[in-house]
Amino acid sequence: MTNTTHDAHHTDPVDEFFAAQRADVPTLVADELHWQRVLGRARRSRGRRWMRYAAGAAAAVIAGTVGWQVVGGGASPGPETSPVTITTAQPSPDRPPGTQRSTPPTVTSAPPATVPVPASFRLQSVSTAADRTLLALGTITCPGGTLCPALAASGDDGGTWRQVHVFTGAGVLPPSQAGRPGGTGVLSQVRFANTSVGWVYGGDILRTTDGGATWQDYPHAGGDVLDLATDGTDVVLTTADRCSGGTCSGTLRVLRAPITATSATDVAGTLGRGLTISAAPVSWHRGQAYVSPAAIAPAGVAAPGPVVLRADGLRAAGPASCGRGQGPTQLVAPAAGTTLFAVCPTGGAAGHLGYAVHASSDAGATWRLVSSEALVLVNAGTVALAAADAGTLLAVSGGGPDLHGSMALSVTGGERWQAPRTAPPLPDRGWAWVGAPGGSTFYAVAADPSGGYWKSTDRGETWAPLTVAGR
C-alpha cells in the first residue's frame, strides 16, 4: 500500500513490529463460495432494511410473495435440474431480543417423484431419519449464480440420492463455518426425528412433516437457532439473540417441545446474561438432553458450563475440573451405552491443543478423569466429537485453510488416541463435523466444499467416501 510517515524510522520497534506483522498477513481463500456469501449477505441486508421500513405492510407482502411463489412455481426460473419445489425461507425482520419468532406459515408445493441431486451440490450436514434413511443438507447453484440450500434424501443408506427440496431465498454458510451462528435467513443444518418429521436450521428454522417435501416456519422463543437435537419424541433447541460475526450476545435459551408440536415457544431454561455465545450444541443420552455452551461471560462472571435439562430447569452437568478458562467443555453422548464423556481443552502449543477426557456413568452426577492431553488436535478453529459407545470416540478439528485440522480415534474409552488405521485424506480445511448414528458407524463431513461425506462402518478404523452430488 502507500508509503507512510513511519517508514522513515527503520530501527523503531513499533515500525519494525508492524512491518513484520504486515509481511506476515496471510492471504485467505477468495473463492466462489465466499463471493456467493457476500452476495447473499448483501441481499439479506437489503431485505431486512426494507422490512423495517415497510413495518405493518410486511406481513401482507410476505403472504403475497408466498402465494406468488406457490402458484407461480412452475413459471419461475427453477434451480438447476428444474425441480418445482419452491419454498420461501424469507428473512425475518429484526426483532427485540427475547421476543418470540412467529412468521406466517410457509407453504410449499409438492416435489416431483424423483429429481437427481445436482452436480453442484456441496454437503454441509447429514442426519439419520431411520434405518437406511439419510437426509443431507447442502448448497446448490440456483438461477443467477447464487447458492441455495437444498435437501437430498437416500433410502438405501447413502447408496443413491434424490433431491427433495430447494430453499430458494435462504442464506448459506461456507462449510468451514458449520456450527457457528449463521444469522437471520441461514439454513445450514438438518435433523430428522423420523422419516416424516424434521427441521432445517442455522439461524432461521423450518419444519417438515412429510419427509422434507414441504416446509413450514417453526415459531420459537428467542432469536437465531444455534443447535437442535431430537430423541425421536421431543426436540430441544438452543437459541440466542443479536447474532453477527459468528457469535451471539445476551442470553442463551433452551427450548423443548414434542416433535409433533408446530412450534417451540416454551423456554425450558436460560443461561447467563451478557454472554458472547459462539455455539451451544445439544445432545441426547438415555432420555436426557444436554447442552454444552461455548460462551464468554462478562469480566468477573464465570462462563456457563454444560447443563442437563431436567423437569425443573437446567442443572450443571460437566466435571468441575474441566475448562478452567482454557475453553469450553463439550459433552459427548455415545450412540450406545451408559457412559457420558466430557472433553475440555487443557492448553496448547505449536498450533495444537491438548484435551482432557472425563467419563461419567451416572448421567453427569460424578466424573472421573480418563486422560489428560492424550488427545491432541491441530488448533484449526473448530472441534467436533462423537462416540459410538463407551470405548470408541472420534475427534476432529478443522476450519482453518492453513492448518488443515486433524482426526483422532480412541478405542480405549478416551485413554489413548491415535490416527485411524486407514484415515481419509485430510481436507484442506480439515473437518467440520462427525457423527455416530449407531452401531459401529461414524460419519465425517469435511470443512472444504465437498459433494459428499465419509463413512466408517468399523468404529472409525477405515473410511470410504460417499457421494451425494450428481447421484
Partner 1 sequence: MPRASARASGRQDAHPAVRALYDAYYGRLAGWTAKLLGDTALGHDFATEAFARLLRDYETVDEPQAWLYTVTANLVRDHWRKRGREQAAYQRVGQDVDGSWPAPDPATVITVRDVVLALPERLRVAVMLHYYADLPVTVVAARLGKSEGAVKRDLFDARRRMAARLEGVQ
- The footprint of partner 1 on this chain (CB under 8 A) covers a number of residues equal to 53
CB-wise, 97 or 245, nearer to partner 1? 245
Residues in 168-187 that interact with partner 1 by CB under 8 A: 174, 176-177, 180
* Residue selected from 283, 382, 406, 450 as contacting partner 1 according to rule CB under 8 A: 382
Residue 29 binds to partner 1 (criterion: CB under 8 A):
yes
45 touching partner 1, by CB under 8 A: yes
Record the cell numbers describing residue 358, joined without a space.
Answer: 472425563
Judged by CB under 8 A, the chain residues 287 through 326 that form the site for partner 1 are 296, 298-299
125 is a site residue for partner 1 (CB under 8 A) = no
CB of 380 to partner 1, least distance (A): 8
Under rule CB under 8 A, residue 203 binds partner 1: no
Residue 39 makes contact with partner 1 by CB under 8 A:
yes
Distances (CA, A) of 367 to 90, 163, 319, 373, 404: 45, 44, 6, 17, 32
Q: Which amino acid would we find at residue 348?
A: G
Q: Of 196 and 249, which has the nearer Cβ to partner 1? A: 249
Q: How far is the CB of 214 from partner 1 (least distance, A)?
A: 31
Stretch that binds partner 1, among 132-140, 160-168, 399-407, 412-420 (CB under 8 A): 399-407
- Least Cβ distance, residue 352 to partner 1 (angstroms): 15
* Site membership for partner 1, residue 50 (CB under 8 A): no
Q: Which residues bind partner 1 (CB under 8 A)?
A: 1-6, 12-14, 16-18, 20-22, 24-30, 34-35, 37-39, 41-42, 45-46, 174, 176-177, 180, 244-247, 249, 274, 276, 296, 298-299, 380-382, 399-403
